[in-house]
């Protein structure tokens, strides 16, 4: 095997892990793929055969590229119109899930958004990807003590928001299917029975598609939105839909009159729906097909 073939093989062996890291860092499928491609270009231009630990080199490079993007994105996030949601991670139902639901849930990704870029990097590298603090310190060019402090602060911020899913995939699937059925029948009473008392619904249109300009908080707030959709549009759910695993659990890809949209669902501890996340921004749905 030539040196270039060896370098390519080493990179491809790490590509899935690098993509998972970049997606969690950035909340964007497209940007994660771009970052991993940039990492490949740097790897291809380096003296790869002289690198003692290719996996560590690639994780370090990918992390630094993500940090650069996060810092550049801060101004764009502040100017974003309406609530922000991460791009949906789509996995076909027939395939074995690539990710644990709790590690790619929308609630978890939104919790990561509240961290600084460095806190996010340390937390993911240590708590999710099992890197030791000495390796993280080299990646971030910080002391081990500073990295431990960053990790501690990150855990304190994420602990309450990171869901502990004791509900089975089958139970969540039943909830999602029941929600879709009730929404298609415009049955508000059935929807009420499916929602936890403190349920939330967040819709992200990015200023490019119709969406609520604030999160709906609490069962009655969510139901008020559905009543309005039924009154204005004659229905709360588009007719053309298909099922997929979206950010860890069964979800819905739907085709409305103005384009594709996704519904991601997350359970509550009492076996109802804790959260519904609706993505409508077309810029975040280019990789999604009905």
Structural domains of the chain, count? 2
Q: Are residues 179 and 279 in the same domain?
A: yes
Do the beta carbons of residue 10 and residue 46 sit within 8 Å?
no
Contact 155, 127 (CB under 8 A): yes
Last residue of a domain, one of 79, 104, 121: 79
Q: How many beta carbons lie within 10 A of that of residue 149, not counting itself?
A: 14
Q: Is there a contact between 133 and 148 (Cβ–Cβ < 8 Å)?
A: yes
**Residue 254 in domain:** yes
Instruction: Supply the pLDDT for residue 16.
Output: 92
Which CATH number characterizes residue 191's domain?
Answer: 3.10.450.50
- Looking up residue 32, the CATH number of its domain turns out to be 1.10.1740
pLDDT at position 256 is 82
> Domain ends where: 60, 79, 98?
79
Q: With respect to residue 250, please indicate whether it lies within any of the assigned structural domains.
A: yes
149 in a structural domain: no
Task: Find the domain containing 182 and state its range.
Answer: 169-284
Q: What is the mean pLDDT of each run of 10 residues along the chain (290 residues)?
A: 77 93 94 95 77 89 95 78 92 72 86 93 94 95 96 87 65 88 90 95 92 93 88 70 88 87 90 93 88
What is the pLDDT at residue 48?
63
Q: Is residue 232 part of a domain?
A: yes
Whether 267 is in a domain gets the answer yes
- Sheet with 195-204: list strands edge to edge: 90-91, 240-246, 249-256, 259-267, 273-279, 195-204, 216-217
**Is residue 144 assigned to a domain?**
no
Give Cα 190 to chain centroid, integer Å. Answer: 28
Q: Is residue 84 part of a domain?
A: no
Residue 167's pLDDT is what? 66
Task: Examine residue 134 and state whether it is found in any structural domain, yes or no.
Answer: no
Q: Give the pLDDT confidence score for residue 49 in this predicted structure.
A: 64
Cα(114)–Cα(200) distance, rounded to whole angstroms?
Answer: 18
Domain termination site, one of 23, 53, 79: 79
**Would you state the pLDDT for residue 8?**
84
pLDDT (0 to 100) of residue 32: 96
């Amino acid at each position: 095997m030539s040196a270039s073939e060896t370098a390519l093989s080493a990179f491809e062996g790490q590509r899935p892990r690098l993509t998972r890291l970049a997606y969690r860092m950035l909340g964007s499928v497209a940007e994660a793929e771009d970052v991993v491609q940039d990492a490949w270009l740097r790897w291809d231009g380096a003296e790869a055969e002289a690198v003692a630990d290719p996996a560590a080199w690639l994780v370090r490079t990918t992390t630094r590229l993500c940090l650069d993007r996060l810092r550049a994105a801060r101004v764009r996030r502040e100017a974003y119109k309406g609530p922000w949601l991460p791009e949906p991670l789509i996995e076909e139902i027939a395939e074995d899930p690539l990710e644990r639901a709790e590690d790619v849930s929308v609630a978890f990704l939104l919790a990561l958004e509240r961290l600084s870029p460095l806190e996010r990097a340390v937390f993911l590298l240590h708590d999710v990807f099992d890197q030791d603090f000495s390796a993280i310190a080299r990646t971030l060019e910080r002391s081990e003590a500073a990295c431990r402090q960053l990790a501690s602060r990150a855990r304190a911020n994420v602990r309450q928001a990171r869901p502990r899913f004791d509900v089975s995939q089958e139970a969540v699937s039943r909830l999602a299917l029941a929600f879709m059925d009730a929404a298609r029948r415009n049955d508000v009473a059935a929807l009420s029975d499916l929602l936890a008392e403190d349920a939330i619904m967040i819709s992200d249109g990015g200023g490019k598609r119709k969406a609520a300009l604030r999160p709906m908080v609490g069962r009655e707030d969510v139901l008020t939105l559905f009543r309005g959709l039924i009154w204005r549009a004659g229905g709360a759910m588009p007719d053309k839909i298909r099922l997929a695993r979206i950010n860890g659990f069964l979800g819905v890809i739907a085709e409305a009159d103005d384009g594709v949209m996704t519904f991601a669902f997350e359970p509550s501890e009492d076996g109802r729906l804790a959260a519904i996340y609706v993505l409508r921004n077309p810029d975040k749905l280019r990789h999604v097909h009905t």
